[in-house]
């Protein structure tokens, strides 16, 4: 298994824009069951939703994907 801290790309412990470690992190599960970590940077105010991929690397989800995965299914 790949160590997520050693992987290239976004990580939930530093801002992917400015590199600051001053972040608010909120783990959550979207309506479709996707585990994500919402990350908000205190320095540059970047916000992103990260999910852990099958290979152990973190992936940033676009807001459109988060909204789609969070929508309630029609009855």
pLDDT in tens, 11-65: 889 999 999 999 999 999 999 999 999 999 999 999 999 999 999 999 999 999 9
Domain positions in the chain are: 4-70
Residues near 30 by beta carbon (within 8 Å), at least 6 away in sequence: 36, 66, 69, 70
Look up tokens 């939703």; give the residue.
49
Q: What is the pLDDT of residue 8?
A: 66
Instruction: Kindly provide the residue ranges of all beta strands, DSSP E only, lying in the chain, ordered along the sequence.
Output: 23-29, 35-41, 47-52, 58-61
Integer angstrom CA distances of residue 55 from 9, 21, 27, 62, 64: 13, 24, 19, 19, 23
Prediction pTM value: 0.79
- Kindly report the backbone phi and psi dihedral angles of residue 53, in degrees, each rounded to the nearest multiple of 5, phi listed first: -75, 170
């Amino acid at each position: 298994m790949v160590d997520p801290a050693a992987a290239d790309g976004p990580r939930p412990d530093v801002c992917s824009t400015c590199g600051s470690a001053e972040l608010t992190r909120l783990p959550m599960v979207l309506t479709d069951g996707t585990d994500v970590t919402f990350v908000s940077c205190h320095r540059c105010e970047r916000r992103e939703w990260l999910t852990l991929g099958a290979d152990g690397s973190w992936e940033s989800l676009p807001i459109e994907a988060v909204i789609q995965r969070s929508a309630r299914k029609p009855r």
